[in-house]
């Protein structure tokens, strides 16, 4: 297997494949890790996935927990009480740390990472993919996945369309020291929050569009325009630009080549969903692709990656579009923002929006089936450890409260947990419920459907 790109999506996918003993080569065009120390947020669903793979404690040691409220369009609202999770927070953590920890995880499992090398050509047939590399080498692989970002070379080589809206506006974003917290402004596109160690993360709209990296003077100029003062900004940890370009790949798969993460979707970072969306792509894809390589995947399993993850991305694109409109400095947008701020005082409205951003309300369409089929299973405390502790190996898991069920001939791919604390469900390796009930015959049909 070849993966193009060693960001969070590529590193996570490499680890997922190695859990199933698939040989993996990750190609990263950057010779060195990016120096930008940008703080990003891991949402509830991503934290759950990290717990499922035994990675959560490593991440918690490098991050800072904060409430999950006040994320939708930066409208101040508390996190709803009693969210359906054991991890009801967002983890602020430097992106380079996430990449490093996930890469170390993949390497420890046996993946190979080659830096300073990119895919420059592709040719595929019924048996595999021939990849030409920037160093002149030509490699043959069963499958190839493009995790190489919004300007994905793999997507362009495939000729996959990337329709959507180009950037109409940009922001300058960074972590800096200030003379003090800025005074409130009427422009909801300008906001800030403490970033630790006396620094603040500041986001301010920019005048016009530019491909040039921002400078401290650029940030000062935009702050004077929006906030009436440059706030004494100094000592930047990092500065970057981002725009509101929003695009979704027409297809996630062409034959033996697939797309994941920003290669398949880009959107403004409102709500902090981008990195999370890519990591969740990787966990959805990894076991399915491994099943194809190892020879046990049932017909159509790999196609479910696109049918499940592309609608999930489309929903994220729509909610970021909505957040962009709510932050426009126009009278109409301000009126709608005031109305939504009032509505978010209603617990169910606030809970619904948090569920969207955190991806805990996501339900995959598995056809006619009752709840909770299609939804993710929250963690459960067991006599020893937790349910998520039993998912570290990336296999399916049959939860059996009575001991009356069996995984039978699928036991090499599906574990069996008998414990009165668990519901009677079949979990896929990504933690989504594939079956619920007590009928062994129907369980066998679903085991065949998902595990061959």
177, 200 contact by CB (below 8 A): yes
Neighbour count for residue 31 (Cβ, 10 Å): 8
The 3-state DSSP class for residue 26 equals strand
The pLDDT value recorded for residue 35 is 67
Distance, first Cα to last Cα, the chain: 21
State the SS3 of 373-387: CCEECCCCECCCCEH
Q: Tell me, what DSSP letter sits at residue 188?
A: T
Confidence at residue 184, expressed as pLDDT on a 0 to 100 scale: 75
pLDDT at 319 exceeding the cut of 70: yes
Average pLDDT, whole number, for the chain?
Answer: 94
CA geometry: angle at 384 spanning 84 and 361, to 5°? 15
From the centroid of its chain, how far is CA 105? 17
pLDDT higher than 90, residue 394 = yes
Topology adopted by domain 2-163+247-358: FAD/NAD(P)-binding domain (3.50.50)
Structure tokens at 5: 């790109």
* Residue ranges covered by each domain of the chain: 2-163+247-358, 170-243, 387-451
What's the order of all strands across the beta sheet hosting 246-248? Answer: 164-165, 246-248, 265-266
Region 240-260: mean pLDDT is: 95
3-class DSSP string for 318-363: HHHHHHHHHCCCCHHHHHHHHHHHHHCCCHHHHHHHHHHHHCCCCE
CA gap 16, 287 in Å, rounded: 7
pLDDT at 195: 77
For the stretch 358-385, what's the b/e string if a residue is b when 16 or more beta carbons lie within 10 angstroms of its beta carbon?
A: bbbbbebebeebeeebbbbbbbbebeee
pLDDT category of residue 245 using cuts at 50, 70 and 90 = very high
pLDDT the model gives residue 33: 83
DSSP 8-state secondary structure symbol assigned to residue 378: P
Give the whole-number percent of the chain exceeding pLDDT 90. Answer: 82
pLDDT of residue 36: 67
253 is written with which tokens? 């798969």
Please, which residues have CB within 8 angstroms of residue 446's CB and are 6 or more apart in sequence?
A: 426, 434, 435
pLDDT at 270: 85
Token look-up 């209603």 returns 346
Q: What is the pLDDT of residues 193-213, one digit of tens each?
A: 787 788 888 989 998 899 899
| Span 292-305, average pLDDT | 98
Q: What percent of the chain has pLDDT over 70?
A: 99
More confident residue, 188 or 51: 51
Give mean pLDDT, residues 318-346.
94
Backbone angles phi, psi at 39, to 5 degrees: -85, 125
CATH topology of domain 170-243: Alpha-Beta Plaits (3.30.70)
For 59-73, 141-155, 384-398, which range has the lowest pLDDT when averaged over its residues? 59-73
- Say what the pLDDT of residue 196 is: 76
**How far is it, in rounded angstroms, from Cα 394 to Cα 16?**
7
Look up residue 34 and give its two tokens: 């990016």
Mean pLDDT of 245-254: 98
- pLDDT at position 301: 98
- pLDDT of 148-159, one tens digit each? 999 999 999 999
Domain 387-451 in CATH 3.80.10.10: no
């Amino acid at each position: 297997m070849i993966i193009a790109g060693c960001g969070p999506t590529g590193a996570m996918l490499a680890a997922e494949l190695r859990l199933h003993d698939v040989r993996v080569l990750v190609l990263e065009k950057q010779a060195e890790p990016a120096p930008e120390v940008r703080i990003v947020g891991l949402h509830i669903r991503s934290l759950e996935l990290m717990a499922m793979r035994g990675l959560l404690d490593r991440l918690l040691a490098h991050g800072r927990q904060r409430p999950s409220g006040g994320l939708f369009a930066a409208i101040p609202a508390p996190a709803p009480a009693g969210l359906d999770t054991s991890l009801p927070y967002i983890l602020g953590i430097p992106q380079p740390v996430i990449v490093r920890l996930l890469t170390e995880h993949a390497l420890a499992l046996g993946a190979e990472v080659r830096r300073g090398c990119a895919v420059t050509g592709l040719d595929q047939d019924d048996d595999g993919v021939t990849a030409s590399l920037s160093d002149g080498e030509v490699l043959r692989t069963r499958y190839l996945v493009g995790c190489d970002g919004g300007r994905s070379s793999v997507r362009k080589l495939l000729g996959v369309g990337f329709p959507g809206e180009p950037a109409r506006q940009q922001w300058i974003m960074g972590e800096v020291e200030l003379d003090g917290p800025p005074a409130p402004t009427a422009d909801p596109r300008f906001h800030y929050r403490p970033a630790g160690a006396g620094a603040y993360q500041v986001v301010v709209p920019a005048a016009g569009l530019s491909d040039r990296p921002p400078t401290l003077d650029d940030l000062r100029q935009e702050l004077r325009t929006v906030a009436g003062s440059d706030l004494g900004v100094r000592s930047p940890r990092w500065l970057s630009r981002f725009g509101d370009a929003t695009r979704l790949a027409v297809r996630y798969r062409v034959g033996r080549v697939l797309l994941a993460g920003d290669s398949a979707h880009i959107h403004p970072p409102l709500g902090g969903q981008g990195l999370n969306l890519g990591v969740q792509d990787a966990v959805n894809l990894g076991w399915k692709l491994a099943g194809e390589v190892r020879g046990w995947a049932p017909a159509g399993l790999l196609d479910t990656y696109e049918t499940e993850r592309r609608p999930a991305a489309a929903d994220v694109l729509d909610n970021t579009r909505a957040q962009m409109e709510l932050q426009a400095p126009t009278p109409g947008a301000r009126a709608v923002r005031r109305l939504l701020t009032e509505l978010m005082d209603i617990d169910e409205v606030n809970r619904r929006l948090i569920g969207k951003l955190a991806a805990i309300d996501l339900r995959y369409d598995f056809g006619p089936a009752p709840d909770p089929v299609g939804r993710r299973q929250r963690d459960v405390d067991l006599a020893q450890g937790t349910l998520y502790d039993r998912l570290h190996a990336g296999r399916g898991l049959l939860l059996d409260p009575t001991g009356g069920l069996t995984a039978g001939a699928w036991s090499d791919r599906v574990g069996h947990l008998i414990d009165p604390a668990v519901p009677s469900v079949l979990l896929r390796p990504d933690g989504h419920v594939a079956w619920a009930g007590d009928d062994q015959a129907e369980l066998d049909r679903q085991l065949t459907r998902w595990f061959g």
